[in-house]
Amino acid sequence: MSRVFGWRSAVAFAALAALPWLPGVPKYYLLLAFDALLFGAIAMSLDLLIGYTGLVSFGHAAFYGLGAYATAILLERGILSLWACLGFAIVVVGLYAAVVSYFATARRGIYFALLTLIFAEVVFTFFRYTQTFGGSDGIQGLPDALVFPGVAIDTPARKYYLVWVYLLLAYAVCRVLVTSHFGRVLVAIRENEDRARFLGYNVQKYKMLACMISALLTGLGGAIYPIRAAFATPDLMLWTESGEFIISVMIGGLGTLVGPIIGGVFFTLLRDKVSSYVDWYFIVIGVVLVVIVLFLPKGLLGLRRALGFGRWRATA
């Protein structure tokens, strides 16, 4: 277990838990931190696929958005229990992810990326044009969810702890997975799929499972988003959103789990801050991306090593 949760992670999570108590933190920063950590956690789930298995999903926005709609649909109908929302999201995202991963993992490389993209576009188009779910406006004005009857997730601090718990659990799941035998098989598949197959592993089964786990974690992240934002709209499923998840993974560093979390946080904060001052912030983001691909293929965590801070355990 110590391999799973080193003291570094423990301290980092403790520090994050202390954030709401720091003096003078405006409530807005807790909500911004919610978005940043949520984005980070989703990037981490995606890293399971990109960094460890070598599969680039361009359709994670669909898992995210479906999770969000699952929650939104229940909240809208007055079912306020957090657990019901999460359960429903798991069912909905799970069913969809099973179909996508079955067909997509049969293909490699770019085909996988584009198949996930097309499936996601179908889901996006469906929600965009289905009036039952609000069409392009989505579902808005949702009430606060309840952890237990009478305990609503209403204040920024409570919302922040919700994402904190989610990040903690998602991180634990990912860490356990990549340090397990299962995780090593995934890396073996990434390195040489044919060899893994000759060694007797059912490669597609492993890929499918990795895809499902990543999708479900992302879907759960989507499921808590309406609890914070009080709405779910089709924009959450736009393919550019998937692109932003990938950008976060790249910024942080592939195959490191921690890197994508930092990448997601960095990306969210960068966009939020820069966009308050200039209207050409997409150029900043684009340049950051190009520079990272060209000069820092291992992301921000790679920067640490480049500066001589010792070797990072690049992959489990």
- 108 is an interface residue for other proteins by CB under 8 A: yes
Single out the segment in contact with other proteins by CB under 8 A; choices: 73-81, 162-170, 209-217, 281-289: 281-289
* Binding map of other proteins across residues 154-193, x = CB under 8 A, - = no contact: --x-------------------------------------
The count of residues interacting with other proteins (CB under 8 A) is 83
Nearest distance, CB of residue 181 and other proteins, angstroms: 25
Which residue in the set 91, 110, 169, 306 belongs to the binding site for other proteins (CB under 8 A)?
Answer: 110
Q: Which pair of structure tokens corresponds to residue 182?
A: 């299962």
Which residue in the set 81, 140, 180, 315 belongs to the binding site for other proteins (CB under 8 A)?
Answer: 140
The SS3 call for residue 127 is helix
In this complex, which beta carbon is closest to other proteins, that of residue 87 or of residue 114? 114
Nearest distance, CB of residue 241 and other proteins, angstroms: 9
Which residue in the set 20, 59, 67, 138 belongs to the binding site for other proteins (CB under 8 A)?
Answer: 138
In this complex, which beta carbon is closest to other proteins, that of residue 138 or of residue 219? 138
- How many Cα neighbours within 13 Å face the side chain of 104? 31
In this complex, which beta carbon is closest to other proteins, that of residue 88 or of residue 121? 121
How many Å apart are CA 132 and CA 306, to the nearest integer?
53
In this complex, which beta carbon is closest to other proteins, that of residue 83 or of residue 295? 295
Spell 289-315 as b/e; 16+ CB within 10 A means b: beebeeebebbbbbebeeeeeeeeeeb
- 316 is an interface residue for other proteins by CB under 8 A: no
Distances (CA, A) of 117 to 126, 161, 211, 260: 14, 32, 14, 21
Q: Shortest CA distance to 298 belongs to which of 307, 177, 57?
A: 307
* Binding map of other proteins across residues 17-56, x = CB under 8 A, - = no contact: --x----xxxxxx-xxx-x--------------x-----x
Q: Which pair of structure tokens corresponds to residue 224?
A: 């808590």
Residue recorded with tokens 């890396």:
187
How many Å apart are CA 135 and CA 163, to the nearest integer?
27
The SS3 call for residue 159 is helix
- 215 is an interface residue for other proteins by CB under 8 A: no
How many Å apart are CA 101 and CA 220, to the nearest integer?
17
- 233 is an interface residue for other proteins by CB under 8 A: yes
- 98 is an interface residue for other proteins by CB under 8 A: no
Single out the segment in contact with other proteins by CB under 8 A; choices: 77-85, 159-167, 168-176, 267-275: 267-275
- 275 is an interface residue for other proteins by CB under 8 A: yes
Which residue in the set 63, 166, 171, 266 belongs to the binding site for other proteins (CB under 8 A)?
Answer: 266
Single out the segment in contact with other proteins by CB under 8 A; choices: 82-90, 114-122, 206-214, 215-223: 114-122
**Could you count the other beta carbons within 10 Å of the beta carbon of residue 249?**
31
Q: Shortest CA distance to 190 belongs to which of 81, 312, 316?
A: 316
Single out the segment in contact with other proteins by CB under 8 A; choices: 69-77, 87-95, 174-182, 288-296: 288-296
The contacts of residue 215 (CB under 8 Å, 6+ apart) are 60, 63, 93, 94, 96, 97, 100, 101
Nearest distance, CB of residue 155 and other proteins, angstroms: 11
How many Å apart are CA 275 and CA 282, to the nearest integer?
9
